[in-house]
């Protein structure tokens, strides 16, 4: 079955540091890949997505590239801010029916001033 593996947290960074959160996946076919973000006390929000190999998703300074050869979708940001402190979830959805999404376990990011 489908699975998503992302790096354990928490990740603590100083403001303006470079961020990488690793994500790898196992899936049949050609899945779509997503990063969601969850701020404290809120539901998940879609941060970015990529729907085919070599696509780059980007939003709010965050980027991730769909790498089929390494089955990876690592999240990066060049300069994090305190407001980026949140939990980040990598997810995939395969091309099958019922539109189901498989989530990773989440990585908590804390950015300190």
Report the C-alpha dihedral over residues 61, 109, 27, 32, rounded to 10 degrees.
Answer: -30
- The binder of another protein chosen from 29, 40, 69, 98 (CB under 8 A): 98
Among 15-23, 46-54, 66-74, 76-84, the segment contacting another protein (CB under 8 A)? 46-54
Among 13-21, 38-46, 58-66, 70-78, the segment contacting another protein (CB under 8 A)? 38-46
Contacts for 55-59 with beta carbons within 8 Å, 24 or more apart? 57/33
Between β-strands 32-38 and 56-59, what pairing exists: parallel, antiparallel or unpaired?
A: unpaired
End-to-end CA distance of the chain: 41
Verify binding: residue 57, another protein, rule CB under 8 A: no
- The binder of another protein chosen from 19, 23, 32, 66 (CB under 8 A): 32
Verify binding: residue 100, another protein, rule CB under 8 A: yes
Contact (Cβ atoms closer than 8 angstroms) between residue 47 and residue 62: yes
- The binder of another protein chosen from 43, 69, 70, 113 (CB under 8 A): 43
> By C-beta, is 14 or 26 nearer to another protein?
26
């Amino acid at each position: 079955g489908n699975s998503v593996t992302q790096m354990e947290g928490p990740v603590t960074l100083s403001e303006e540091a470079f961020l990488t959160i690793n994500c790898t996946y196992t899936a049949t076919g050609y899945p779509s890949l997503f990063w969601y973000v969850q701020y404290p006390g809120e539901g998940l929000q879609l941060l970015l997505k990529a729907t085919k190999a070599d696509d780059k998703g980007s939003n709010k300074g965050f980027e991730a590239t769909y790498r089929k050869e390494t089955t990876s979708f690592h999240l990066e940001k060049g300069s994090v801010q305190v407001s980026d402190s949140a939990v980040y979830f990598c997810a995939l959805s395969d091309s099958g029916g019922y539109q189901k999404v498989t989530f990773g376990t989440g990585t908590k990011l804390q950015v300190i001033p």
